[in-house]
Amino acid sequence: MRASYIASAIAGTMLLATGALAATGEYDNMCTMGLALGKEVKTDCSISGQIGGKTYCFGSEEAMTAFMKDPEGNLAKANAYMSKKNM
């Protein structure tokens, strides 16, 4: 019960943006889940969501679904990857 409440709360904080106008996202529009996995995947940001007022892009619906299983952990991994890359 608690896990589904947390998943629902997290999903509620993430707003999907799909349509003709692509968003501009963090990480130069690279797939946030890809970055969490140590891969750079450029996207058009047509699949995106907002967390904490920032837009994050995904290369596919599957990538976004995987990201949403642990958004805080995956953001931490993406940030760590980008920090290492920019050293």
pLDDT at site 53: 93
The overall longest dimension of the chain from CA atoms, in Å, is: 42
Residue by residue, DSSP assigns 19-47 as SSS----TGGGBBHHHHHTT---B--SSE
The confidence band for 87, taking pLDDT boundaries of 50, 70 and 90, is confident
- Report pLDDT digits (tens) over 28-43: 999 999 999 999 999 9
CA 81 to chain centre: 14
Higher pLDDT, 25 or 18: 25
The per-residue pLDDT for 21 is: 54
